[in-house]
Amino acid sequence: MNKKFIVAGIGELLWDVFPHRARIGGAPANFAWHCGQIGAQAYPISCIGHDAMGQRMRTELAQSGVATDYLITNEKYPTGQAKVTFDTEGKPNYEIVMDAAWDHLTLTAELKQLAQNLDAVSFGSLAQRSTASRETIQAFIEGMPEQSLKIFDVNLRQSFHSKQLIERSLQIANILKLSDEELDILAGYFNLNGPEIEQLQQLQARFDLRLLVYTRGSKGSQLLTAETMHETPCHPVDMIDSVGAGDSFTAAICMGLLHQWPLNRINIFANQVASFVCSQTGATPILPQQFTLSK
């Protein structure tokens, strides 16, 4: 059997607390979950508290087949939480608890070793809100092989971002994923001008990105390189909730790139995966067999 691609999501790991239930969440963990289902050897990298919520999280992840090798337990800080509410269109809003365990992620010898063997990683801006985790995440990515995929999924939340943070993240990434709402903020940070497509091209060129992934909700998505662009409409679906859909989209993009698919196939596949997640409850439903790949 061929060796699986090794991927990781690094950053926040928390409980998404809905009005009537709590589910494991955090973009890096969701990314790792979906990459694992699609066919990678996938690891969430984060820090959880030495508390009942942390133990429950570790147990539920293990029972779901998610590797917990790189979940660090912090004795001092609590397991993270995000209170989730929905607007009239079903779009989630998050109130993220401050000073959680994942704000105190440290770069261990084991993490340094993992970085050297990774094929891909996804990271965002939220987990870099604290100095400790920001330094750990950036050092981890800088320790990865040059040819590996370093996906910056902007994932702006509340006020936990700045021009300096976004710029540094783009400098160490080679793939950027952002939404139409996030483009408006980056346009202000980096003085992007003209129509949408020209702003995206300016971002791609300025940071020499291997790929720029642009999502537009119900309008579908665009994938841009220095040479080409592919656009596909959103796959129609009966919406339940969109929590985790963007993370599953990123996972599908990552896996398609690792398998060296053409952009049109990657884009269509990612939309199909994300649409399925939107038709289910929660961020990490079991994906149908049709989405499982082998190397």
Q: Specify if 159 maps to a domain.
A: yes
Q: How many domains does the chain have?
A: 1
Type of residue at 49: G
Q: How far apart are the first and last CA of the chain?
A: 9
CA separation for the pair 112, 194 (Å, rounded): 42
Q: Specify if 155 maps to a domain.
A: yes
Average pLDDT over residues 267-283: 82
What pLDDT digit, counting tens, does each position of 66-91 carry? Answer: 899 999 999 999 999 988 887 877 77
Q: Specify if 1 maps to a domain.
A: no
CATH code assigned at 139 = 3.40.1190.20
pTM metric for this prediction: 0.91
Type of residue at 19: P
Q: Specify if 202 maps to a domain.
A: yes
pLDDT at residue 173 in the model: 98
Q: Specify if 203 maps to a domain.
A: yes
The domain in which residue 225 lies consists of 6-291
pLDDT confidence bin for 1, thresholds 50/70/90:
very low
What pLDDT digit, counting tens, does each position of 121-140 carry? Answer: 999 999 999 999 999 999 99
